Amino acid sequence: MRVPTSYDVAREAGVSQPTVSRALRDDRRVAATTRERVREVASALGYVPSRRGRSLSTRTTGQIAVVVDDLANPFYMQLIERLHTTLEGADRRMVVLTDLLDRAGADARLLDGSIDGAILTTALLGSPVPRELAARGLPVVLLNRVVDDPDANACTSRNADGGRAVAEELVSLGHRRIGAILGPTDTSTSRDRERGFRDGLAAGGGHLADANLRRGPFTYETGYQGLCDLLCGESSPSAIFCANDVIALGALNAARALGITVPARLTVFGFDDIEMAAWDVFRLSTVRQDLATMAGEAVSMLLGLILAPDRPPRRVTVPITVVRRASHAPPPPEASE
C-alpha cells in the first residue's frame, strides 16, 4: 500500500500542500475550520508528517540531545523521563547520548547537524565542552550540574540550601558526631552540597572532621564502603549525610550488614529523593529536587536560545524540599554526650 503524502491530504481537503503543512503545525495564519478539516483528512488517510520534510522547510531538525553519562543512577532516568515529557509537549524529539565528556566525542556527535540544541546533565566543573559547543553555534543548556564558566546557561537545584537544611536538621536533633559520604570533587553538585552542609554545621556550633568524611563516585559502592570505614573509626558518627540517594542506599545496606539499626543507632540522610527512597524497605529521609520544574526551565531556556542565540546567559536555581521519612532520629544517649 502506498504511503499517503501531504499532497494526498491537500487534494482530499481541497487546499494547497503548503496549507496542509501550516495547518498540521497549528499555524494560526490558517483558519481554525481549515486546520480542523486538514487534521481530520490526515487522520482518515493515515498520513504521518515527515520530519525530514519539515527540517528542509524550517532548517531545524526538531531534535534535542540530552547528554548523560551515568545511566546506572536512577536519578538520571527520572530526569530523562521529565525531559521527555516536556520536550514532547513542545513538539520536540529527544535523543539521549552518552560518553560525551571529552571534546572529540562531543564534536563528533553534537555538531553533525542532526540536532537543534543540547541539554548537558553530567558536566564536570572544569569542562570546556559547553563553551566550545556554544562557540561553534550549538545552543547548549546545563541541567543539574554547572561548570566553572559563568557564561554557561544552566538550571540547577539550590544544592547548598539542601546541604545546609540537612545540617540544621541533624544539629537540631542533638547529633554532635556527624559524618558525610560525599561525591567527586570535580562536580558542582557535590561541591555545593558540601559547602552548604559545612555552613549549616558551623551555624549550629558543629563541624565536619576529616576523620568523619569519605568521598567517591555517586555510587552504591561508595556508600557501602564509606559507611564501613566510618564506623570502624575511633569516633564513630551517629549521623551520616550522603551526597545522593544512591550513596545513602549503599550506607543503609552496610549498616544492616554490620548490625547497626537505623535510625535508633545511626541516622542516614540522602539527597535527590529518587523513587526508591520512598520504598517501605528504605523510607529514606532525603532532600527532594523538583525535577519537573528543572526540566521545564531547562527546555524553555534551550528553546529560547534556539530562537535567539545572542540572548544573555541565564542561571536558574530551583528550590529544594526536605523529605522526612524514617531514617533519621535523635542520637542514642551515648552519642549525644
pLDDT at 297 over 80: yes
CATH number among 2.40.50.140, 1.10.260.40, 3.20.20.220, 1.10.443.10, domain 6-49: 1.10.260.40
Q: Do domains 6-49 and 159-289+323-335 have the same CATH topology?
A: no
193 within 8 A of 230, measured Cβ to Cβ: no
**3-state helix vs strand vs coil in the chain, percent to 5:** 45, 15, 40
pLDDT at 336 over 60: no
69 within 8 A of 122, measured Cβ to Cβ: yes
- Quote the CA–CA distance of 278 and 54 in Å, as a whole number: 44
Residue labelled with grid coordinates 499517503: 4
Beta partners for residue 64, in sequence order: 94, 117
289 within 8 A of 270, measured Cβ to Cβ: no
Q: Which three cell numbers stand for residue 260?
A: 547497626
Q: How far is CA 328 from CA 49, 101, 323, in A?
A: 54, 37, 11
- Which CATH number is 63-157+290-319 given? 3.40.50.2300
Q: pLDDT tens-digit profile of 224-271?
A: 999 999 998 777 999 999 999 999 999 999 999 999 999 999 999 999
What pLDDT, on a 0 to 100 scale, did the predictor assign at position 54? 56
Which of 276, 278, 257, 274 is CA-nearest to residue 324? 278
The 3 state secondary structure assigned to 87-146 is: HHHCCCEEEEECCCCCHHHHHHHHCCCCCCEEEECCCCCCCCHHHHHHHCCCCEEEECCC
Q: Which residue has the higher pLDDT, 127 or 189?
A: 189
pLDDT at 78 over 90: yes
pTM of the prediction? 0.84
Write down the CATH superfamily of domain 159-289+323-335. Answer: Response regulator (3.40.50.2300)
String of DSSP letters for 45-73 = HT----HHHHHHHHS---EEEEE-S-TTS
Q: pLDDT tens-digit profile of 97-136?
A: 987 655 555 666 788 888 999 999 999 999 988 998 998 8
252 within 8 A of 284, measured Cβ to Cβ: yes
146 within 8 A of 180, measured Cβ to Cβ: no
In the chain, where the domains are located = 6-49, 63-157+290-319, 159-289+323-335
Q: What residues contact 315, with CB distance under 8 A and at least 6 apart? A: 146, 153, 154, 155, 156
Identity of the amino acid at 271 = F
**DSSP secondary-structure letter at 235?**
S
What pLDDT, on a 0 to 100 scale, did the predictor assign at position 18? 87
Q: Which three cell numbers stand for residue 250?
A: 549503599
pLDDT at 80 over 50: yes
What pLDDT, on a 0 to 100 scale, did the predictor assign at position 233? 72
336 within 8 A of 174, measured Cβ to Cβ: yes
Q: pLDDT tens-digit profile of 129-160?
A: 899 899 889 999 999 999 998 889 999 999 99
Phi and psi for 91 in degrees, rounded to 5? Answer: 60, 40
pLDDT at 58 over 60: no
